[in-house]
Structure 1
């Protein structure tokens, strides 16, 4: 698979996203770790003090007396109902628990207990807490517990306003009753007949838990952000340098392609002329030899000009023109002579015809680039022609403002879709003969650039299967200028 710029972008973006996801995962795990260990020291102090305050007690100082009065005082009735009517037992059990919970909330002294713990241990943070009861069970026989209340049970006879997912709220205002805020969970039971078991918890947290954790993580977060940003910037700089190197490589390729394309015609003409001059009949006839030497001279001069303009051919953004007053008819005669000489090497028959109908043929032009225009149009007319006999007809005409050079061929023609891109660099058509013909797709690109640089006009008329006609319109010189 060819490694393209788009593929590079996709890989770079995918890598950046992967790195970002990894960093996010690491940051999230760091947050969770700090969240789980948050207030570790404070919780240990509060837990030790709390357990010391409720030693031999339940939920809070004095809580055991309240629970004993309600539960143990109703134990005979509960036992009787348990044996006779389970539904009535559940109702009475929940009502007993509801009364006990109500009295515990009224007698709440955990606020003063927490305040005393904080002052005694110099805890400066603003803390919130919550005290909850998860379940109460009774045992008529040793270790055979029957639930009166359970946080996950159906508690229709208990005040719903004091019920939470973590159990019955006895005291405190903390809402986040999660495992990471749990300070202490206590279960108290007695392995005797006619006893009860209770489970309760104390939750502790600060008012700004998330903000504090995020502040503690700020150095880690900034380091992670810098690392991701550094990788993205490094990737961008590497990609930009790669694009520059790629453009330099393309420029080198263009340079080689341009030289190959432009050097081909004059070299072929020189080789054919030289081969012809080696013929004994030509050597013995000076009149036949002179035109061939002129061909070699013209093509050698063209090669010399090509060498000096190779950089201009490669960039082709702005041509350096050396215009002079020239006779188009004279230039065309020389061009057709040279091209006929090249055509003798072709496997198929090529016929070139020049009709000089223009009455005014002297214009300002760059002979080198004019030659480039005509030769490239000729090359295309021959290459994109599947007939055995290939015809190229050059006709000149003139009016008051311009000289018109019409070059018509009997080739394969150009459809509308291809005509939209025919002057694009390296464009060689879509399919068929375009794929079979060797070339770089530079010929008509050069033609268009050279005509634009001269500020001439180019018109293309073509019908698929019939042929193409290129018409070049060149402003003629005023009569006063000619004089």
Structure 2
């Protein structure tokens, strides 16, 4: 029994450590997967938005259909920029709809329409924090690792042959790791709660096992002490009975009374030990009943 408890504690502790390790590894993997999912959805939506922005407005399409040319050299009309075809609110609406189609509208992004690729291009339309974020990304490598960025060309040549300007939609995803954690709040909360419950169960198990071990030791000591306490009066009574069976003692009233008194006294001591044991058992039972009533009252109060 003494060896079984430490072995059990070691096995339970190893199981708990393994469980916590697997939980932490699972959380890390699911956050990384969520980061990849967010990046894919946002950039897919941005690509769709760039494709939509590359299409002409109705007025530009009518000019193209009329095949208008310059009167002097017959050259094609110059390209029309995005900010000449769409207002800022229209650009925002197009981008938001594209993100919504790809289930990415709930994520925070910063974007810019630039003449020239990336953040180095000449900005035509930008979100409020784009310029500041672009400056920080140049010098902050840690921020750059946590801020995926991608540029998408705005070009409609494949659809109708009209050559647009060298424009790009550049998209940043700031604080990608934080956004991934926020999007997994309930899942991570459930994982943390499950881990806490497991650790609590381990603690209660260990405490119970230690209490049982302590109780077993106390019980063993108690039995040994009671055995000794009972052996002494029993041995004394046995000797007194043997003495009373002696004919010489039976003929002597004084000695008979002496040994009878010994038997009575030892019997009283034994009864006292028995009453002590019964009272201890009764007190333990009453304590358990009291605890049971307290727990029942607490449960009733909470559920009420």
TM-score normalized with structure 1 length: 0.34
Larger Rg: 1
Select the structure that is richer in strand.
Answer: 1
Higher relative contact order (CA 8 A, sep 6+): 2
Select the structure that is richer in helix.
Answer: 2
TM-score normalized with structure 2 length: 0.50
